[in-house]
Structure 1
Amino acid sequence: MTRTKLCGLTRECDLDAAVDAGADMVGVVSRVPIETPRELAPDRAAELVDRVPERVTSVLVTMPETPEEGAALVDRVAPDAVQVHGCSPNEVRELTECITVPVIAGVDAADDDLDEYATVADALVLDSTDEQGAGGTGETHDWMRAREIVADLDAPVLLAGGLTPENVASAVETVAPFGVDVSSGIEDERGTGTKDHAKLQRFVARVSGEPLRA
């Protein structure tokens, strides 16, 4: 079964809607060096994480300058897992040695060192990243290459980048990933950070194989 991660949540109502829709994972963003409406202060991120029921995995998404900074933020927010972007394989390895929760490494589908990330991270998010290594760009990438990556790597891979309720079923069929990760594709308007509850419900339904409804 393909897992579903709904990310960039900023409001209690959006979090509750994601849980009610059947999301396996929910993500909050904190401490990133880019301008985004999805970023939360650490204490606010901790409030939302505390609201997540035990059956759903809470994920802190961050871009730490150092592994030690990442570990301190994990301790403060207390998620079930942490997803880091803009980190080298060595930095990911150092972070895994500092904390007890799983580490998900955000990587670009075009990177050449994915094998290195797969040996040090618990899972990968295969995304379309910007020049700073951040995800959430809303851009798709080559799904056939993604399929090869998923087949070749030992680590679980979540597919991200430009996914929407309209294309996610095709993405799952083509790539066969461990999971899918969406943020901008379920917003009321792309880039606002505010989630459209009907979109996120349709997204989860399509991942699970239910037909798309108008």
Structure 2
Amino acid sequence: MTRTKICGLTREDDLDAAVAAGADMVGFVCGVPIETPRELAPDRAATLGERVPEGVTSVLVTMPETPEAGAALAERVDPDAIQVHDYSPDEVAALADRTDARVLAGVDAADDDLEQYANPADALVLDSTDEQGAGGTGETHDWERARAVVADLDVPVLLAGGLTPENVAEAVRTVEPFGVDVSSGTERAGGVKDHAAIQQFVERATAPRTVTT
């Protein structure tokens, strides 16, 4: 079954709604050099992370300047996993050496060297990135290209970028990813989730797919 990650959570009731909907992973944005309504202070991210029940993976989504800074932030927030963007494969490896958290590498779907991330990262988050290397753009990318990446790489791949309750079922059918990752596509305002949209997203992402012969 396709895993689901609800990212950019800022409020307890939104977190609870994601968990109640059956999300496998929940993401908290902290320590990014861009302006976003989803940004949390480290202590706030840690507090929300403590609320995540066993069986649901808490993910710190960040863009630290160095692997050392990333490891220090992860120690402070104490997530199950840390997701970094705009990192080289060597930086991902260095971060993995410095933290007990699983390391997810946010990568641009258009890049040609993604296989270099397969060894150091525990998973890839295949996204549309902006000029600063950040994801969360709300823009879709080439799903056929994403399907090839999923098929070629021996590492779990989460599909991100412009996903919504309306298109996630098609995305899953086309790409067949390990999981799907959504942020703005389940919001009613920046950093504020639409609980019905979260429920619909999880249901449609995980609905059994018809197999044709």
User: Shorter-chain TM-score: which interval?
Assistant: over 0.9
Instruction: Establish whether residue 120 from structure 1 lines up as the match of residue 152 from structure 2.
Output: no
Alignment of 1:124-143 (within 5 A): 124-143=124-143
**Structure 1 residue aligned with 2:58:** 58
- Aligned partner letter, 1:206: R
**Structure 2 residue aligned with 1:102:** 102
- Aligned partner letter, 1:159: L
Q: In the alignment, which of 169, 193, 196 is matched to residue 195 of structure 1? A: 193
> How many Å apart are 1:102 and its aligned residue?
0.7
Alignment of 1:60-209 (within 5 A): 60-189=60-189, 192-209=190-207
Task: Give the gaps of 5 or more residues in structure 2.
Answer: none
- Aligned partner letter, 2:142: D
Q: Secondary structure at the match of 2:193?
A: coil
**Structure 1 residue aligned with 2:43:** 43
Distance (whole Å) between structure 2 residues aligned to residue 116 and residue 208 of structure 1: 29
Q: Secondary structure at the match of 1:40?
A: coil
Distance (whole Å) between structure 2 residues aligned to residue 113 and residue 94 of structure 1: 18
> How many Å apart are 1:187 and its aligned residue?
0.4
- Aligned partner letter, 2:206: S
> How many Å apart are 1:210 and its aligned residue?
7.3
**Structure 1 residue aligned with 2:11:** 11
Deviation per residue, 1:160-191 (Å, 9 max, x gap): 000000000000000000000000000004xx
Relative to the length of structure 1, the TM-score reads 0.96
- Aligned partner letter, 2:198: L
Taking every aligned residue pair, what percent have the same amino acid on both sides?
A: 75
Task: Give the gaps of 5 or more residues in structure 1.
Answer: none
Distance (whole Å) between structure 1 residues aligned to residue 162 and residue 206 of structure 2: 18
Q: 1:64 to 1:193 in 2, by over 3 A?
A: same
Distance (whole Å) between structure 2 residues aligned to residue 67 and residue 206 of structure 1: 36
